[in-house]
Each structure stands twice: as C-alpha cells, then as structure tokens.
Amino acid sequence: MADALRSDGLSIYLHWPFCTAKCPYCDFNSHVAANIDQTHWAEAFDQELARYHHQVPERTVKSIFFGGGTPSLMEGETVRSLLRSIQSRWRVANDVEITLEANPSSADAGRFAAYRDAGVDRLSLGIQALNDTDLRRLGRLHDVAQGLRAVEMAQDIFARVSIDLIYARQHQSLAEWDRELARALGFGLGHLSLYQLTIEDGTAFGDRHRAGKLGGLPEGDLAADMYELTQQVCGERGLPAYEISNHAQPGSESRHNLNYWRGGDWLGVGPGAHGRLSIAGQRFATETRRAPSIWLKNVAGGSGEKSRDQLSQRDQTIEALMMGLRMAEGVELRRLEPQAWTVMAEGPVAELVDTGHLMRSGERLIATDKGRLVLNSVLRELCAGL
C-alpha cells in the first residue's frame, strides 16, 4: 500500500498551542498564556525538526502548515526561523504551499507582511460568523467589522486566502445562513472552509449542552438542509466541495489538507500534534503530549513524542476509507488492503451502491452526495466486518 505520497513527498504540521482566549466550541489543543518565550519555543521546534530529519532525511517537503491555537500570535521572526530550520534540512518543492492560520483579533498588516516575507503564501482566517451576536455566542474576540478588515488586509498581502465559517449555529435559520454564505462568496476568495457546528465532549459547549443550557440548536432536518444549501450555492458560484467541509475554485484546494486525506506522510510537531510517517515499509502514527510545559520538557529530554504506533494493514484500510471518502474524488482502491476490499466489495459496498450512498468510478470508491450526508453511518457499515 506504499506509494509516492509516502515514499517521497512530506508535509509538516507545526502546532502553536497558544490563544488569547478559549472558544467554547473548540476541542483543539489550545491554551491561554500571558507570557511566551518565543525564542525558547522556536529552539524546541528546531530540535524536534532535527530529530525527524535524522529519521527521514531524503524527503521533499511539499507543504507546511502553522496551526493552533492561534499561530497569528507568533512573531514574524519566529515563523521565519522555523521555515529556515526546515529549509536548511530538507529539499523543499519549488511550489511548496506554506499556510498559516490567523484570527481577526490578532490581524495586523505589519505582522501579516512579516509572515509573507518569511515565506508564508497562504493565510487561513478564522472568521466563523458574519453576525456580531453569534460571534459573541461563539466566544470570538472580534466583531464583524474586524473580520471584514482582516479579510481585506489578507487579500492585499497574500495571493491565497481562505476563511472559516461555522453554520448550524444557535438560533440560525436557513435563510440567514443563505444570506451569510452569499456575503462570504462575495469576497471573491478561492477557498472556503464551511463547518457544521458540532458539540464536542470536553468543551464549554459540551458541558452546557449536557446541562440543557445550550438552546437554539437546529432541530429536525435543518442542519442537513444547511449542508445541502451550502453544496448547491458554492457549486453554483464556482467553489464546489472537494471535501465535505471545504470548497474551492479548481486549483485553489489546500494541498496540505489533500495530503492528509489522500494518505500521505506528515510530521506533527508541537504540543498535541499527530503525524503519519512511513519508514522502511512500515506506517506509523505519532502523537505528542498536549500540555505545552510537558512537551517542552520531553523535547529537552530527546523527543516530543508521546507515542509511535505501527499501523496494521487493517488500520490503514480503515483510515483510508475514513479520510478518502470525505473527498469528492473518493478513495483509490489501491490504498485498501486487498483482502479487506474483497470482504467489503462482496457485502456492504454492493449494498451501499444499490442504495445510492456509494459509487464506483474506475479504480475509485466515491461517496455520493447522499452518502456524504450520512458518512459516519456509511463508514460503520463498510468497516463492520473488517
């Protein structure tokens, strides 16, 4: 099941775990800290990158992603030093994609220009809503006016800009989401990430929901209607969904995220980061400690990893289905373990094709529009007998 995505190309994910405040819906590894020694953190990241380079020195880096947390709290020089650390060790593709996530509350023209000058060529802005009441409900520190200024500023500085929005919010109607989506499409961006609000355990929203204090969530089929409206409107405006929650003009897709979904290798560096790495024909899942102080201590001791687990062929097949069927292009059959594919093809695949949830296209298995709407159920059926 090894392929060129694993044997050559490599993505690098750098997790900056700090935020100014914790959003109530967020289950990412983020921490509020008043004082951060960015030089010390840059040194720790450099040490981890050096360790990984010793293990996979001959790869070509094709994408780099600064995620968080709030990476736009990083100083420009911190970003520059980390990119230099990567570039001094690995071959870097001529068309490498370098993305940084930013929040409007930390948007600053000088800071954005410093990121661009350091090498960042794609900015992902966490707008989340175009409604001040809902921004407050979501715990965001910016208002709509700040969000709009951040979009304009980003477009002036970066050739590629994406924004995130959340729908199926409290008390949101289908008509309101339609208007908000039309406004977002009016920005003229090549990429939108549009996520349905999910209530996760371990978040403030999760606690409120269990206590019956999170009113106004969509009832009945409203969330599904919002999803279907999103697909229709974005498709009509030239930004079809290339993945369940991501829409782009052809050629403007996130190459970094495509590498995840297509089963490529990536290094996960920083507190709470996950990675996938192929070495000597074996595929490994890596994970780091979530607490920033413990991660720093572990790095000083020689490795920021908490665990490195070898993935079985069955594990890889399940992961390929879970990630690949999210995409409009589907999953390549060669990524599935042959025996597992035989089991699925004779049972659940045939049934799901008959019910219109899956389709075969050459050597690809694709979830239809109907199937992506209930993808978790489709995956449960596919993987039940493996």
Contact between 142 and 129 under an 8 Å Cβ cutoff? The reply is: no
Helix (H, G, I), strand (E, B) or coil at 190: coil
Cα–Cα dist 24/3, whole Å = 40
Give the tokens for residue 260.
């995840």
Burial of 83 (0-12, 13-18, 19+ CB in 10 A): buried
pLDDT score recorded for residue 357: 97
The one-letter amino acid code at 190 reads G
Supply the Cα-derived Rg of the chain in whole angstroms: 21
Q: How far is CA 289 from the centre of its chain?
A: 19
Query: In angstroms, how far apart are the furthest CA atoms of the chain?
Result: 59
Contact between 208 and 214 under an 8 Å Cβ cutoff? The reply is: yes
- CA distance to 9, 273, 373, per residue, from 51 (Å): 18, 15, 41
Cα–Cα dist 355/189, whole Å = 36
Domains along the sequence of the chain with CATH: 4-260 (3.20.20.70), 328-386 (no CATH)
pLDDT score recorded for residue 160: 98
pLDDT per position as a tens digit, 283-296: 999 999 999 999 99
Closest CA to 152 of 192, 123, 182: 123
What torsion do the CA atoms of 126, 128, 133, 134 make, to the nearest 10 degrees?
-140
pLDDT score recorded for residue 25: 66
Distance between terminal CA atoms of the chain? Answer: 17
Burial of 193 (0-12, 13-18, 19+ CB in 10 A): buried
Q: Which residues contact 219 (CB under 8 A, 6 or more apart)?
A: none
pLDDT score recorded for residue 101: 97
DSSP 236: H
pLDDT per position as a tens digit, 164-184: 999 999 999 999 999 999 999
The one-letter amino acid code at 7 reads S
pLDDT score recorded for residue 84: 98
Element (H, E) at 20: none
pLDDT score recorded for residue 3: 57
Residues of the chain where predicted confidence (pLDDT) is lower than 50? 1-2
DSSP 327: B
Contact between 45 and 270 under an 8 Å Cβ cutoff? The reply is: yes
Cα–Cα dist 40/75, whole Å = 13
pLDDT per position as a tens digit, 83-104: 999 999 999 999 999 999 999 9
Strand-pair category, 274-279 with 305-310:
unpaired
The one-letter amino acid code at 331 reads V
Q: Which residue has the tokens 């999953």?
A: 331
pLDDT score recorded for residue 203: 80
